[in-house]
Amino acid sequence: MKDKILEGTTTVGITCRDGVVFASERRASMGNLVAHKVAEKIFKINNHIVTTIAGSVGDAQNLMKIIDAEISLYEMRNGDDISIKAAASLTANILRSGPLYVQTLLGGMDSSGPCLYSLDPAGGMIKDDYISTGSGSIVAYGVLEDRYHADLSVDEGLEIGLRAIKAATERDTYSGNGYLVAKVDKNGVEMLDDENINKIIAKI
C-alpha cells in the first residue's frame, strides 16, 4: 500500500552572494490532522549539498537515502566533489525512474559558487535564485518577492528565509510547530540550533 501523503509543508531556498540558505517549518499534516510536530524537512547530503522535502514521508526518506548513496559513489569513482548541477541531474534521473511523490529543493556551494534547484515528482529540474514549496509557498513567495535582491548575504538570507516561513505558518494551517534552518557557505554546511534560530526570529 502506498504511503499516505502528508500534505502540509513550507520550505524555502535562497541563493545569496556567499552561499545558500534553506528554511522550513516542522509540521506534517494529513488532512485536518497534525500527524507529526517534529518532521525533518531539511537534510545534509554532504558538506556542500543540502536538500529539502515536501510530500510523502516514505518516498522522501527513500529518495534521501538514494541521493546520499549515489553522490557518495560518484565522488568515490571520480575522486572529486560532485557539482550542484550534477547532483540535481542525478536526483532528476532518480525521480524519472519511478513515481516518487516528493518535491525537492537541492542546493549548495561548488567551484562555480552558490546554486539552487527545484525538482518535481516527474524529474523536472529548474534552477532559480529563490524557491518555495508546499502548502504555504504562496504566502512565503510574497515575502521572497518583496525582500530578495541579488546581493544578499547569507546572514540576510537567513532572516528573509525565516521571515517567509514565519509568515506561512501564520496563514497556512498546514504549516507550523517550529523551524528548521540550514546554510551552506565556503565553510560547508551548518544546521542552525534553536538558540540561533530564536535570535533571528526575535529580530523579525
- Domain of 14 in residue numbering reads as 5-198
- At residue 31, the pLDDT reads 65
In a domain, 53, yes or no: yes
CATH of the domain at 170: 3.60.20.10
- Residue 145 clears pLDDT 90, i.e. is over it: yes
- Residue 43 placed within a domain: yes
Residue 71 maps to a domain: yes
Catalytic annotation present for 9: yes
User: According to the model, what pLDDT value does residue 7 have?
Assistant: 55
User: SS3 for 47?
Assistant: coil
Average of pLDDT values for 106-114?
97
> What value does the mean pLDDT take over residues 186-201?
96
What total of structural domains would you count in the chain?
A: 1
Tell me whether residue 14 is in a domain.
yes
Give the rounded percent of residues in the chain with a pLDDT score beyond 70: 94
Question: For the whole model, what pTM was predicted?
Answer: 0.92
Residue 191 lies in a domain: yes
Neighbour count for residue 196 (Cβ, 10 Å): 13
How confident is the model over 9-48, as pLDDT tens digits?
899 999 999 999 999 998 877 667 676 787 889 999 999 9
Does 204 map to a domain?
A: no
141-172 burial code (b ≥16 CB/10 A, e <16): bebbeebbeeebebebbbbbbbbbbbbbbeeb
Q: Is residue 129 part of a domain?
A: yes
Strand partners, 118: 105, 126
For range 171-200, the mean pLDDT: 94
What is the band of 67 on the pLDDT scale with cuts at 50, 70, 90?
very high
Question: Does residue 203 sit within a domain?
Answer: no
